[in-house]
Chains A and B, each alone.
Chain A
């Protein structure tokens, strides 16, 4: 059977099964709805969708352009001047690890109109594009550097003739991820900004209605939008060539993987570390000075810290924060561990059943770039609004990217090492235990670093939209009551926790590492 026909038949069979289950199973109407109901609802809402989707596309596209412009200029700058990269390390890690949803309410205080969504989309796309391009710019054949130098070419000639073009496949892989993230950023921004139009607004307004078909429609639209962006740059990437597995891995770069090589003096290194730590706060302060906002609405870094420690309300404020953290963090940790474990187990299956993982990988590749927002309606309909829903949300946002990375890690196990076990008569079990699992375990820490911030984000989104507890809810409530101090302090604490989670995986990694390579 030709491949196209098989795919069509598969899709038809899937829709048919969904329709039948939706019509005759006990949870039909309330949970899984049916394709026909979703389609009919979509048709009725067509005018609304046109307005909401076009608003989201506009914000996402503008944010995509702005964020990627910064990312490309940043990558060029960081490649040319490693010390600048060292200075911006704090900013880069913060942008990588921040849960974007906490930035939304802050941006609403600083910007007006559609700009909070646009800026959030820009902030969210910056890191993956910058990291992918920087790796592409740096990762060139050292002999080519020699050739250019031999003919008197300096860094400019090297960038012009070698670096720029050779970074292109990597940049396109970054843009592919950025395109779907821009949609997520715009939608998360709409939650906080309360604009009239946008898929985020539509979702927020529909969560309370008993209309599962509409919720499904919104989730599918968000997913389709993100995949369209992903597909566009995937298509461009394949046209230009070089969109390989290696490039897919490059799109999941971590801040410490783009850290420059040590040509910097130890004394300078300490100074740069201090700058790296202080710079995010300086930029924060500068932004506030530039916008000329009242310190009551938009406090600077020092005031925000003082808010939690000085003043009559500081103690109760701390109490509220700690309580929210106590609700959020355990769920995020649980989701992270379960998601990683499931991803590792499924990826390990590739040793025993290579066909299965090969079949699942393309799906996971696409799903890892589906905005977690698209999952919210489904999770609400299936798991309700409790802790289970938050945990499932965290597991899902963790699982797909971790699985993609780990499956590729298992694929990199040297064949000779596996065949060695074969030669001595060891079966797949021995091979797994002795070779593949120890080898692929090194990718586990990379996967954990990549997804730890996402686990926190997943839980906070679920708290904000569904469960009404924890840090996500606290920020949503403070936004409603204009509790400026809590908005800023909550955002700062969330970002610091994300960075701490990221760094602590690094510490564990260094303790158990067996390989010299990073």
Chain B
């Protein structure tokens, strides 16, 4: 079973400095349950997953299937009841210590009193690194996420999409090798979402990180990911893993591609199988 879950697609664009092969994330037999209000909910049961270095993986599933919990466990923000999570052979808390892990949530979670520039600098300050020494990198990131000219703006002066770009820049400021995203565009409308998907692909290709993204949207998963992990709920488990073989960079004309729709249909069927199983 485990062996069949090893994934890798060798169609990445050229990487400059980071090794192209190897496993970045290993998850073995991870379980997690929550108890409260007199009952226990099995959020995740015996999860096995491997993610290859440099790939983009999407995690899709119905509400309550534990995909966000899995992401939080990978980030070391939540402890699993059982099982092992290793990122490059290290436990999450150890791996992330130097800022090797970046995270983006559905809500941008910016400090409303800080400018764009200073919001992006927050991880450096928490790590105890000099902000001044990294000014050039911050300016570069602001440009990368398309916010040139907004460095001094406050979050309240920005649109929802712009705020989410700030959150992405903040996640990238430590030059992480692993990027976690929990429905990063869930609060945006469909049109803006597609634009942001293109932007994210461009940023990810420029930064060469491994990326894991939780999403509700079949479209988004199929458009962005090299592999889509389909989860079922009650209890949360991995049901299927679907490879998405399109070359990069992908453009919006992919949405008109019959093969793309075949992938989407396959994902929809995999999701539906879970619903029938429960009925």
Contacts and interface: CB of A to CB of B under 8 A. Distances in A.
B126 A152 contact: yes
Given A147-B103, A147-B122, A157-B126, A152 B97 contact: yes
Interface in B90-126: 96-97, 99, 101, 103, 105, 107, 109, 111, 113, 122-123, 125-126
Contact of B77 (A144, A146, A161): A146
Contacts of B174: 151
B5 interface: no
Contact of A151 (B109, B111, B126): B126
A148 B77 contact: no
A165 B103 contact: no
Given A150-B77, A151-B174, A143 B126 contact: no
B107 A153 contact: no
B111 A161 contact: yes
B206 interface: no
B122 to A, nearest CB: 6
B59 interface: no
Interface in A117-163: 141, 143-144, 146-153, 157, 161-162
A150 B122 contact: no
B6 interface: no
Given A161-B126, A162-B111, A151 B77 contact: no
Contacts, number: 49
B99 A151 contact: yes
A121 B107 CA distance: 43
A150 B126 CA distance: 9
Nearest to A150: B103
B127 interface: yes
Contacts of A166: 111, 113
Interface string B123-155: 101110000000000000000000000000000
Given A146-B75, A146-B105, A161 B125 contact: yes
Contacts of B75: 146, 150
A146 B231 CA distance: 24
A115 B228 CA distance: 71
Interface string B57-84: 0000000000000001001110000000
Contacts of A157: 126
Contacts of A150: 75-77, 96, 101, 103, 123
Given A146-B77, A161-B125, A152 B107 contact: no
Contact of B109 (A144, A152, A161): A144
Interface string B162-174: 0000000010001
Nearest to A143: B109
Nearest to A154: B126
Contact of A152 (B72, B105, B127): B127
A161 B128 CA distance: 12
B103 A146 contact: yes
A351 B250 CA distance: 55
A68 B111 CA distance: 26
B55 to A, nearest CB: 21
A141 B103 CA distance: 15
A118 to B, nearest CB: 34
Contacts of B113: 165-166
Interface in B187-230: none
29 contacts: A141-B107, A141-B109, A143-B105, A143-B109, A144-B111, A146-B72, A146-B75, A146-B77, A146-B103, A146-B105, A147-B103, A147-B122, A147-B123, A147-B170, A148-B126, A150-B75, A150-B77, A150-B96, A150-B103, A150-B123, A151-B99, A151-B127, A151-B174, A152-B96, A161-B111, A161-B126, A162-B111, A165-B111, A165-B113
